[in-house]
Structure 1
């Protein structure tokens, strides 16, 4: 099972606007290394033979050198230009996937994903066709409908993370569908194509860095890992 071809499509299309920074958030410093360095390293530690496809806006390609210079041994990385939406960016990345295998699609700004979770997603996708990491909701939530609102049972909901993981024979044809604005992630694309998705337990530390506080939290988690 571990010998099946593996491809990680890392989507790194964010800007630094909410981080109050001119530097795109995926290239900002986290514990002395760019955020993307930590993201890529998690996948290469999980599977040294994995192929990395980095999808990013053309104007951000000049930043990639700062990431590559952080590695002692630079992994093989294919760079692909992003598209108008996440769907189109992932579709561009999927063009690099040839033959049967397992495909991970991961947010570049989730640098704390553990190699253990990556391996869990791989094994579940191999068995079920897909693996979507999720975590429980801890807060009370309410549904808003116009001027009205009502409490809903949080046990019926989960927070979705990445890497969203699929066998290539499932995700590749799903992304041949016409784009729909309801495609918010890869799971929605695959569901729309007629497949159920399989959920696995995610990690609280697998946070998405979007605001300055998130960078501080990520640093704290790294410190705890030692």
Structure 2
């Protein structure tokens, strides 16, 4: 990471990341650790989360992993409170946890719809609510919510997921006003087609990748680090007057 920016304002800052055990989330954990931030991250993949935390700790990072299913709001609040006890006020919240389940329109039922809203949208509000008082007392903070350009591309079979991700952008803009008087900035990041291990296992094939790269303005793979570096910037004081904004990191696909 030496050729990329270091942010002095992130040193010692407490970062809370949901969905941090793998993929883009894990990359963000690594990047914040490299910035010498204090990092708390949660995930439902206890094995991967524990392994990542141990690896970062072995490198001298201040990092803590806890199991948490973000659809359980009581548990999420409890983990956030415990994180504050461990590392102090959460100054940066990254609402990354999500699941892009494909469900054909004719097969989507009420239970699946509700579960996908809880997994992709509901926790964003309640995690933000849980850190608000601490950020307000500290004089400000940064909240970074994750959306997806899938609804802009009119992708098939993800109506519930796309609805949640479109809703995240609206929620971001509303929260930015609700929290602005407290000096809290709220922004949204939309990763493009980042080929994580999950993507490889479920949907990747060479022809699809060829089509994606051909349709991007920049004909290179978008990798997790590209997204993580945008999040670092939005978490740092370098972006102190940026709020209510939406950033697409997709090589110009949409």
TM-score, structure 2 normalization: 0.38
More strand by share: 1
TM-score, structure 1 normalization: 0.41
Which protein has greater RCO, CA pairs closer than 8 Å, 6+ apart?
A: 1
